Copies of this chain bind each other. A is one copy, B any other.
Amino acid sequence: MALAHTILAALSNKPCSGYDLSKRFAENSGCFWRASQQQIYRELAKLEDEGLIVAEVLPQEGRPDKKIYYSTETGREKLVAWISEPSEPTPIREDLLVKVLAGHLVPQSLILKELDCRRQVHLQQLSVYKELERERCQGLRELPLESQCFCLTLRRGIRYETEWIAWCDEAIALLSESE
């Protein structure tokens, strides 16, 4: 259900095409929502069927026509209703932790390598978020509400990555000790 609402929220903010939506997701919402192009196209078609969004077709030359989607009044109502109901935490499913738990079945060094690799992935992602924070969250308290909200999601991303890095360090320290 939530992908539909994420799209409605994005379109309420600024109408755009499926292609552009997909890029906006990757750039602005990457730290808390991920969706493939295919998923977005399918969901847009469904939302249009249900009358929650409408499309305006922009003919283009040499390229496929562009379909700009707009949220309808019904769409906005549905979105507000969804925001107003309580939501539950997303259940966690993390491959790496399954591997750590079953780690005694393989050579220790393999797990350590994996942990180090993950540490680097999170370091990388962290630096992306920090750069975004520098660009868009200066003087947080003076920014308009919408920017403050965006920065809060970024802060969540930063905390998330930081926490992963710290845990990797902890795990690496403990497991390399017992070798």
| A6–B97 alpha-carbon span in the complex (Å) | 10
Q: Is the CB of A89 within 8 A of B118?
A: yes
| A16–B83 alpha-carbon span in the complex (Å) | 42
Residue of B105, B110, B164 touching A76 (CB-CB under 8 A): B105
Which residue among A76, A98, A146, A156 has the maximum number of chain B CB atoms within 10 Å of its CB? A98
Q: Is the CB of A91 within 8 A of B34?
A: yes
| A179–B21 alpha-carbon span in the complex (Å) | 31
| A32–B6 alpha-carbon span in the complex (Å) | 25
Give A117-142 interface residues, CB cut-off 8 Å to B.
Answer: 117-118, 121-122, 140-141
Given A95-B87, A98-B5, A163-B163, residue A174 in contact with residue B146 (CB < 8 A) = no
Residue A27 CB within 8 A of the other chain: no
Q: Is the CB of A80 within 8 A of B106?
A: yes
Main secondary structure on A side of the interface with B: helix
Residue of B89, B159, B174 touching A167 (CB-CB under 8 A): B159
Residue of B94, B105, B118, B153 touching A80 (CB-CB under 8 A): B105
Give A142-167 interface residues, CB cut-off 8 Å to B.
Answer: 145-146, 148-150, 152-153, 155-156, 159-160, 163-164, 166-167
Residue A59 CB within 8 A of the other chain: no
- Mask, A65-106, CB within 8 Å of B = 1, is 000000000001001100110111111111111111111111
Given contacts A33-B92, A103-B149, 19 further A-B contacts (CB under 8 A): A2-B93, A29-B101, A31-B97, A32-B97, A33-B98, A79-B102, A83-B106, A84-B110, A86-B117, A87-B96, A89-B164, A94-B156, A97-B156, A103-B145, A104-B145, A104-B149, A145-B178, A148-B174, A148-B178
